[in-house]
Structure 1
């Protein structure tokens, strides 16, 4: 595991990767969605919680339903993308810990403590959302992660039957159209935002 990735791989995942506002007409297959999950699921979460719950909006009906919950600026991005994805979090993730973290009673850590579960679900589903972006890029796809939505409306539209599931953020997915991106924004040098203690 000590081998350094090639510069081409690092460029694809980080340095030259961009967030896209529009996509080409090239489709995204269901196999590609499965491939993203099969990579991102290996990213670490605390006690292997895996609280993220993804809804892959591939149909026009699903994309329209999601777009109706977002800002006017985001609606065409969602409708026109090959796939739009809801990255949500399951506050009842602890029910799965006997399977996912079987060597100790990790479920007991969270039983009866909604505040702890909410904080942990948010933190770890956010990590998984980042793994989603990295996995998509590693597989030759592009993303457009965004806020600008009514969380309550998305939850009602997609998770009414799962009251413990709440939206974290949303993203579009496809083959990015280079004409849709802005000039590269600055990224500061190490010294600006880092401290070695």
Structure 2
């Protein structure tokens, strides 16, 4: 498990991978979405808390429910994508910790501290959202993450009980590579990193 990945694998996951806005007319099977979750769920979270929750919006009815919350061109991008995932987190994730992390009472710091629970859920749920994108790329899918939407409206529409909270959206499918824009620049090591 400690081998260096091939250049081709690194290209697929990072170097040549792109965020897509246009999609081929090719569906994503339910079995692949299940495989995607089974892959991403293995990524590490603190005390194995696993707070992320995923809503795979793929039906016309589901897309119409999501559409009013999207801003600008994101609505059009979502409608054309085979699947758009609402990457959310469970604000009461700690309820599962006795099952997920039985070594000790890892839920104690969160049960009576909603702010601490929120910070842990958002941080670890964001990690799991990143695992979603990497797992999708590893399984041959393209990704189109989005943050231009009304979180409160998504939550009211999809999570009426208030326990789950939306974090970001990510469209999945088979991207139309002919519609990609030029690659944007990135910061250099010297600009973004320090050695201490």
Q: TM-score range by the shorter chain?
A: over 0.9
Following superposition, the deviation at residue 9 of structure 1 comes to: 0.4
Is residue 185 from structure 1 mapped to residue 192 from structure 2 by the alignment?
A: no
Residue 13 (structure 1) shift = 0.2
Aligned to 1:128: 128
2:18 is matched with 18
Paired position in structure 2 for 1:164: 163
| Rounded Cα–Cα distance in structure 2 between residues aligned with 1:45 and 1:181 | 33
Within 5 Å, which residues of 2 pair with 1:106-145?
106-145=106-145
> 1 CA distance for matches of 2:171 and 2:156?
20
Tell me how many residue pairs correspond in the alignment: 196
Q: Which runs of 4+ in 1 moved over 3 A?
A: none
Instruction: Give the CA deviation at 1:179.
Output: 2.5
Structure 1 alignment gaps of length 5 or more? none
- Partners of 2:67 and 2:16 in 1: CA distance: 28
Counterpart CA distance in 2 for 1:47 and 1:67 is: 35
Q: Is it true that 1:97 corresponds to 2:97 in the alignment?
A: yes
Cross-structure match for 2:172: 173
Deviations 1:7-65, CA, capped at 9 Å, x for gaps: 00000000000000011011100011011101100110011111001000010110111
The corresponding residue for 1:151 is: 151
- For 1:67, the equivalent position in structure 2 comes to 67
Secondary structure of the 1:56 match is strand
Runs (5+) with no aligned partner, structure 2: none
3-state SS, counterpart of residue 68 of structure 1 = helix
2:86–2:169: 8 Å Cα contact kept in structure 1?
Answer: yes
Paired residues for 1:5-44 under 5 Å: 5-44=5-44
- Whole-angstrom CA distance in 2 between matches of 1:188 and 1:112: 41
Residues in 1 aligned to 2:56 and 2:181: alpha-carbon distance in whole angstroms = 26
TM-score (norm 1): 0.97
Structure-1 separation of matches of 2:103 and 2:2 = 28
Give the drift of 1:101.
Answer: 0.4
TM-score by structure 2 length?
Answer: 0.98
